Amino acid sequence: MRRGHKTSYIRKIGRYGFYFVLPALLFFLAFNFFPMFYALGVSLFKYDLLTEPEFVGLANYKDVLTDPVFWRSALATVIYVFGTCVSIWFISFVLATMLSKKCWGRGVFRTIYFVPVIMSLVVTSIIWKFMYHPYGLVNSMLAWIGLKESYHWLTDTTLAPIALIILSIWKGTPYYAVLFLAGIENIPVQYYEAAMIDGVGPFKKLIHITWPLLKPTTLFIIVISVIIGLRVFIPQEIITDGGPGDVTRVITLLIYQTAFNFYKMSRAATISIIMFFFIAGFSIFQFRLFREKR
């Protein structure tokens, strides 16, 4: 084929590619990109849904960043993310290791362990809300093992965040375990066989073979779990409504309440933008890290 003919043919076909991408592109522009800039724009004004917007430049940012309410919310979010994610990393890894072993009933176990993931978070939150009642299941089971106190899981300022963290660990661990599992099962059997021949024990196998080869999966899990953790909303909204006081009022809840309980749209937008920068910054940092390790 003559050169010119070939390239114009490719270009002609190539156009279709663009057409196929177009619907998705339009959606993203309309419902992700545009609102993002809209938010940025709104954050430069003072707007509470009914009064005329008034340009204030960066005043909202100054306001929010010097507001203890915002920082308490940030702290509540960090506590939640840290408590949930770090625990999940370890527990799901252990779980994945266990589920990777050939054992009796492995298939059944895998099925059962995955149930928390597919249960609706709304339903889960409601069930755990009742479980955390002073006379509910959690305290009853604790009493059974000797801890007889009627813990106030949802009304104590120290226990409430912990209660929500435990709930999230319960819900999320199997999900990440599956990811770890996929990573583990991708490790070529030959490595383990070679180790067995060399007479290497199980723990050494873990440290020298499993762990290093799992690094990309691990990194991925770390990034995803943190981002998902930062976005948490449902348990805090349904179970504690940010309370008692505001110890469980995470950023998403703060944004929601600022916008829809107090109609302070521009302030809510400001907090959203700050949150976005944080998430974006974190993601970029992680991606850099990931690329370096490679």
Partner 1 sequence: MKTRTMIVVVVLFSLVAAAPLFAGGKQEAAAPAEEKHTIVFWMHDSPQTTAFIKDQMIPEYESKNPGIQIENQFVPHKDYEVKLITALTGGIGPHAYDIGDWLIQAYQEKGLLDSINYKAFGFSSLQSLEKAWWPSSLGGFKMKGGIYGIPMEYNTFSLFVNREHFSEIGLDAAADYPKTWRELGEIGSKLVKKDSNGRFTREAFDWPYLGSVWTLLTLEPLINQNRGNVVNSDGSPNIDSKEVIDALATYKGLIWEYGTGDPAVGISSGTNPNADFNAGDLSMWITGPWAQPLITDMHGKYDVVPLPQTEGGKESTILYAWAWVVNGMAEDKNKEKAWHWLNFLSSNQVGFLTECGYLQPRIGWEDTKEFKEFPFMQVFYDDMANGKFMFRSNKWAELGEIMDRAVQKAVKSNEDPEKVLKAAQAEAEKIM
Partner 2 sequence: MNTSPVVFRKYFLKTIFYIVIIGGALLAILPFVWMLSSSLKSANEVFKIPIQWIPFPPRWANYSEALSKGDMVLYYLNSIFVSGATVAIRILVCSLAGYGLIKFQFPGRGLIFVFILSTLMIPAEVILVPLFLTVKGLGWLDTYQGLILPLSVSAFGVFIMRQHIQAIPDDLISSARIDGSSELNIFFRIIIPLSAASLVALGIFTFIESWDNLIWPLVIVASDRMKTLTLGIAAFENTYKTNYAYVMAVASVATIPIIITYAIFQRYFIEGITLSGFK
Give me 121's structure tokens.
Answer: 């978070």
Site string for partner 1, 135-154 (x = CB under 8 A): x-------x----x-x-xxx
Residue whose CB is less far from partner 1, 174 or 242? 242
Which range, of 54-62, 63-71, 188-196, 261-269, touches partner 2 by CB under 8 A?
261-269
**How far lies 59's CA from each of 49, 55, 268, 270, in Å?**
18, 9, 13, 10
Please report, as residue ranges, which positions from 162 to 181 form the binding site for partner 2 (by CB under 8 A): 170, 174-175, 178-179
Please report, as residue ranges, which positions from 67 to 96 form the binding site for partner 2 (by CB under 8 A): 95
Spatial distance between the Cα atoms of 271 and 251, rounded to a whole number of angstroms: 8
Q: With binding defined as CB under 8 A, does residue 49 bind partner 1?
A: yes
Which range, of 69-77, 78-86, 154-162, 269-277, touches partner 2 by CB under 8 A?
269-277
Least distance in angstroms from the C-beta of 207 to partner 2: 17
Residue whose CB is less far from partner 2, 237 or 246? 237
CA dihedral 60→62→64→65, nearest 10 degrees, is: 150
**How far lies 215's CA from each of 218, 270, 290, in Å?**
5, 36, 9
Where helices occur in 154-260 by DSSP H, the ranges are 159-185, 189-197, 202-205, 211-213, 215-230, 234-235, 251-260
Residue whose CB is less far from partner 1, 212 or 245? 245
Least distance in angstroms from the C-beta of 55 to partner 1: 8
Least distance in angstroms from the C-beta of 38 to partner 1: 5
Spatial distance between the Cα atoms of 255 and 267, rounded to a whole number of angstroms: 8
Which range, of 121-129, 193-201, 257-265, 281-289, touches partner 1 by CB under 8 A?
257-265
Q: Which does 112 bind (CB under 5 to 8 A by kind): partner 2, partner 1, none?
A: partner 2
Give me 231's structure tokens.
Answer: 């976005």
Site string for partner 2, 26-45 (x = CB under 8 A): -xx-xxxxxxx-xx--x---
Please report, as residue ranges, which positions from 77 to 106 form the binding site for partner 1 (by CB under 8 A): none
Nearest Cα to 236, choosing from 137, 150, 121, 151? 121
The dihedral through the CA atoms of 27, 31, 36, 37 has a sign that is positive
Residue whose CB is less far from partner 2, 159 or 279? 279
Please report, as residue ranges, which positions from 146 to 165 form the binding site for partner 2 (by CB under 8 A): none
List b or e across 178-202, with b for residues whose CB sees 16 or more CB atoms inside 10 angstroms: bbbbebbeeeeeeeeeebeeeebee
Angle (CA) 280 286 290, round 5°: 145
Q: With binding defined as CB under 8 A, does residue 55 bind partner 2?
A: no
Least distance in angstroms from the C-beta of 227 to partner 1: 23
Residue whose CB is less far from partner 1, 82 or 130? 130
Spatial distance between the Cα atoms of 11 and 25, rounded to a whole number of angstroms: 20
Give me 114's structure tokens.
Answer: 């995955």
Interface residues with partner 1 (CB under 8 A) are 34, 37-38, 40-42, 44-45, 47, 49-53, 67-69, 133-135, 143, 148, 150, 152-158, 242-246, 260-263
